[in-house]
Amino acid sequence: MTFVLIVHQVDDYPAWKAVFDNAADIRKAAGEISFQVLTADTDPNQVIHFSRWRSLAGARAFFESDELVEIRRKAGVHAPIFTYLEERDHGVL
């Protein structure tokens, strides 16, 4: 299973979240299966987006597309850090 972890600073969380929510259909079409959005406890504008994808290639193509560069600009995103992850194990304790 492929996951993507993105950490970025945004200008304004509610404005970012509106753009994020409006992009749900294109994220789904690109292969996003599920997501979690978290914020730092000391800075609500430091956003962590953790998502599960159908494929690593699809996730990379989506996040590196010109369309996403423009969406991030409109959402007030600064210096996103992307980490692409492959699941090796999981469990519940």
CA distance 91 to 75: 35
What is the amino acid identity at position 82?
A: F
Quick one: pLDDT at residue 6? 97
Quick one: pLDDT at residue 89? 96
Q: Could you confirm whether domain 2-86 is CATH 3.30.70.100? A: yes
Cα dihedral angle (47, 45, 14, 41), rounded to 10 degrees? 80
Going residue by residue through the chain, which has 93 residues, state the pLDDT in tens, using 9 for 90 and above.
Answer: 899 999 999 999 999 999 999 999 999 999 999 999 999 999 999 999 999 999 999 999 999 999 999 999 999 999 899 999 999 999 999
Quick one: pLDDT at residue 83? 97
Quick one: pLDDT at residue 85? 97
| Residue labelled with tokens 């962590």 | 48
